[in-house]
Structure 1
């Protein structure tokens, strides 16, 4: 059946049936989303902030907090099976349409910025042997990255089932090099070097500040824990959404922590802190020679391309579902006969392209994009966790199916406190930069309201809009006067 001659403006509005995904595929989406660029950059990011003791504490905090967040998504998938595109839908159901819109936009924007880090890191990796690519931010690097970006657009445009199947294969292929790195690093681990790195360096400051400095890096590597929830409308069985979330988290947490800790036993942390990204390649090269760098670099390219695929899928899905719920302009809610949200996918790829061009003018494109990605995701995560608290405090109400338990309330409270702490850890700079992105996005919300012949804002929404606009104004002024720097 062909729709080649159909005008999209006059095509029937009935949606094709959603592609159904199994527990294995959903779990692969979660793992594929989390295991991406971040894990290959962990040694340097941690060595710049803390030693072994601080790293152990940081992973304990991040692991506990993110596990609670994973349990929150598992609980919400069961309590509110009617809600699709998890993070966005939970914010809307709990706190209204405008904050739901902000959650959808923030999550989507964080995915787009995160996708740019993938291409920058690939080009930086190849740049070790092809200097013209620099650190992934030269003109040639941007041109090649752009070609890859649009090639993936065409791949996903063919159909969700095909893209998800490819992601499952890539997920298996990319985990192997990381596990090999951990085993080799353990074999070559030097106890004296490890002990010397225990307490951190003079530049790292207090232990609290050391741990705080690692938090955005841990958020970045754990982004994707909500992957199955975002893609919930495609699950064969609703309960698989929660299972895939927890299975995916547990399967990668030990790997992330291990990559960080074993690296401290290979090189002095001051030297790790100066490595070129991907720093995992530099660590293994120090241990086994040049072939170690090549091995990790190949693994990185496979890993990052797989993560890019998963994140592009999820980003487009959020825009699509938000548009179907009338919280984004209706043109983003159209899908093809292959169940691909084509316009949402095009907008996702276009924003990534724009940010990719901006990297040519940035001093440290990779680290800034990594931290901004994490900061943009915090508001959606905080609202989802707070919604879980709201449900737990009102068991049996119209908010939820079934009765909540005390453990569910405790988990939701811990997840909420953790995400609030992450906002504090992010610092004022990234909060203000996030406002600069959030505030202009309101035009999309207003357009959606006008399409429905509704008032742009209620009284409460107008206050929220004013606050976001004020935050954006302060952010622009702070950048212009040099109070904060990118």
Structure 2
């Protein structure tokens, strides 16, 4: 175990710094795509179908908003001198320690709770792959442990191994999705599409249902910014990777979700947690291997997403701990500069969360609960980041009016988009997020008290040291 970095230590050698930045544009884009497209996309069509075909329009709006956020994060990474930690760093740079801590706290919760949501969907496809029907809670939880701790082991092996694994799983997950998105349209039936509003309530409630899972599907647009410490030439590559990864994911999401809705009858689609299995079986009727193959590829996809999100969860806690705004242990690193403690915690917390949820529910109910928790807790950091850019732009002087208008539009849209997502997620999700925020404030009070006590001790010992030296 090594000690957390100290501001009194000399700067790391340039060669070590270069080694730490192991992600080029291709790997960074792969990390974005791999984090956005996890197992959630293999469950999302069933949830969207519950809202009706209006959900496809909601998905397109969320895709546009996510792309605006990608552009925003690229601008912020170029502007903020130390962008390690991404959203956390932006808020701290503009608004101070408390805002930075609160942003990092909410994003950290969203990241590991999102891992739990991904693995809950992943478990459904593992059970489908191996023909496990009506499993007990402890069987499902045991499968979830594999999905959480295998990526943790890959991350503990080092960032280079993580990047190679991430690129491989991105390729493997794109193949079946592209196949369904293209070939599936030759087998689509108009009769399978459900009503425009299938929620059983108002259109607003249908939009809220679709917005929650749609935003969850795009969480990951910011991972290149969060892991900027690991990206080569972050000022240039973070923004490009974010936009490229988001645009590719958005196009695939819309086309493949619509295709699955047309391949599977509406009543059957809303009742399954593995919608791609019956969708592929429609393309290959009577061939059981097709459903098994898509389940296997969904399992690989989920492992890839969990692999990337374990790194993201670790890096945001490491950045805050390095600045003294998270417990020191999160900045402990090994000889490969891997924040091993953060990786272990990033796997342990969702493991405990899954244990609790599997004893209270199963299937899509677990997935939906975890999605709602992740959505609102990530909307708060998005909002802080957009406001950080807005504050900077309002205070700018001697700038071209057209460029200022463009950047203000981007920041303004990002602010409104974050607010809309929060409202659309529903009262229950906002309540859960508020409880998490208040718990975080208590944590900040403890950390702030310790920092003040340490500052007093340093002030008390400094005069005596100077006197002895004299």
Instruction: Please name the residue that 1:466 is paired with.
Output: none
Instruction: Please name the residue that 1:436 is paired with.
Output: 435
Counterpart among 24, 27, 34 of residue 32 in structure 1: 34
Q: Report the TM-score when normalising by structure 2.
A: 0.87
How many residues align? The count is: 441
**What CA deviation, in whole Å up to 9, does each residue of 1:366-395 have, x standing for no partner?**
121122111221111111111121122122
Q: Is the 1:57–1:211 Cα contact (8 Å) retained in structure 2? A: no
Q: Distance in 1 between matches of 2:99 and 2:232?
A: 29
Q: Report the TM-score when normalising by structure 1.
A: 0.84
What does 1:184-263 correspond to in 2, within 5 Å? 184-194=183-193, 197=194, 199-201=196-198, 203-237=199-233, 238-263=235-260
Instruction: Please name the residue that 2:100 is paired with.
Output: 100
Instruction: Please name the residue that 2:266 is paired with.
Output: 269
Instruction: Please name the residue that 1:68 is paired with.
Output: 68
- Report the CA distance between 1:442 and its aligned residue: 3.5
Q: Distance in 1 between matches of 2:177 and 2:67?
A: 21
Q: Is the 1:78–1:239 Cα contact (8 Å) retained in structure 2? A: yes
**What CA deviation, in whole Å up to 9, does each residue of 1:433-452 have, x standing for no partner?**
11222322344423432442
Q: Distance in 1 between matches of 2:260 and 2:319?
A: 42
- Report the CA distance between 1:113 and its aligned residue: 1.3
Instruction: Please name the residue that 2:459 is paired with.
Output: none
Q: Is the 2:207–2:424 Cα contact (8 Å) retained in structure 1? A: no
- In the alignment, is residue 50 of structure 1 matched against residue 52 of structure 2? yes
- In the alignment, is residue 82 of structure 1 matched against residue 82 of structure 2? yes
- Report the CA distance between 1:74 and its aligned residue: 1.5
Q: Distance in 1 between matches of 2:98 and 2:337?
A: 27
Q: Distance in 2 between matches of 1:283 and 1:333?
A: 45
Q: Is the 1:193–1:267 Cα contact (8 Å) retained in structure 2? A: yes
Structure 2 alignment gaps of length 5 or more: 456-470
Q: Is the 1:34–1:221 Cα contact (8 Å) retained in structure 2? A: yes
Q: Is the 1:385–1:412 Cα contact (8 Å) retained in structure 2? A: yes
Instruction: Please name the residue that 1:176 is paired with.
Output: 175
What does 1:3-402 correspond to in 2, within 5 Å? 8=3, 17=17, 18-51=20-53, 54-128=54-128, 130=130, 134=134, 138-194=137-193, 197=194, 199-201=196-198, 203-237=199-233, 238-275=235-272, 277-289=273-285, 290-363=288-361, 364-396=365-397
- Report the CA distance between 1:148 and its aligned residue: 4.2
Q: Is the 2:129–2:296 Cα contact (8 Å) retained in structure 1? A: no
Q: Distance in 2 between matches of 1:454 and 1:66?
A: 42
Q: Distance in 2 between matches of 1:133 and 1:274?
A: 15
Structure 1 alignment gaps of length 5 or more: 1-5, 457-486
**What CA deviation, in whole Å up to 9, does each residue of 1:178-236 have, x standing for no partner?**
11111232110124444xx35344x4434343223210111111010001100111221
Q: Distance in 2 between matches of 1:119 and 1:95?
A: 35
**What CA deviation, in whole Å up to 9, does each residue of 1:286-316 have, x standing for no partner?**
4433333222211110100000000000000
**What CA deviation, in whole Å up to 9, does each residue of 1:380-419 have, x standing for no partner?**
111111112112212259xx9xx96211100110111011
Q: Distance in 1 between matches of 2:52 and 2:345?
A: 39
RMSD of aligned alpha carbons: 2.6
Q: Is the 1:37–1:117 Cα contact (8 Å) retained in structure 2? A: no
Q: Distance in 2 between matches of 1:367 and 1:302?
A: 21
**What CA deviation, in whole Å up to 9, does each residue of 1:12-63 have, x standing for no partner?**
9666533332111111110010010221112111110122xx1342123212
Q: Is the 1:19–1:339 Cα contact (8 Å) retained in structure 2? A: no
Distance of aligned partners of 1:42 and 1:149 in 2 relative to their CA distance in 1, 3 Å threshold = closer
**What CA deviation, in whole Å up to 9, does each residue of 1:314-357 have, x standing for no partner?**
00000000011111122222211101111222222221221121
Q: Is the 2:112–2:350 Cα contact (8 Å) retained in structure 1? A: yes
Q: Is the 1:39–1:259 Cα contact (8 Å) retained in structure 2? A: no
Q: Is the 2:104–2:316 Cα contact (8 Å) retained in structure 1? A: yes
Distance of aligned partners of 1:204 and 1:69 in 2 relative to their CA distance in 1, 3 Å threshold = farther
Q: Is the 2:125–2:274 Cα contact (8 Å) retained in structure 1? A: yes
Q: Is the 1:87–1:229 Cα contact (8 Å) retained in structure 2? A: yes
- Report the CA distance between 1:132 and its aligned residue: 5.4
**What CA deviation, in whole Å up to 9, does each residue of 1:47-104 have, x standing for no partner?**
10122xx134212321221111111111112222432211111122233322221211
Which stretch of structure 1 is more off in the superposition, 248-257 or 259-268? 259-268
Q: Distance in 2 between matches of 1:144 and 1:335?
A: 29
Distance of aligned partners of 1:10 and 1:304 in 2 relative to their CA distance in 1, 3 Å threshold = closer
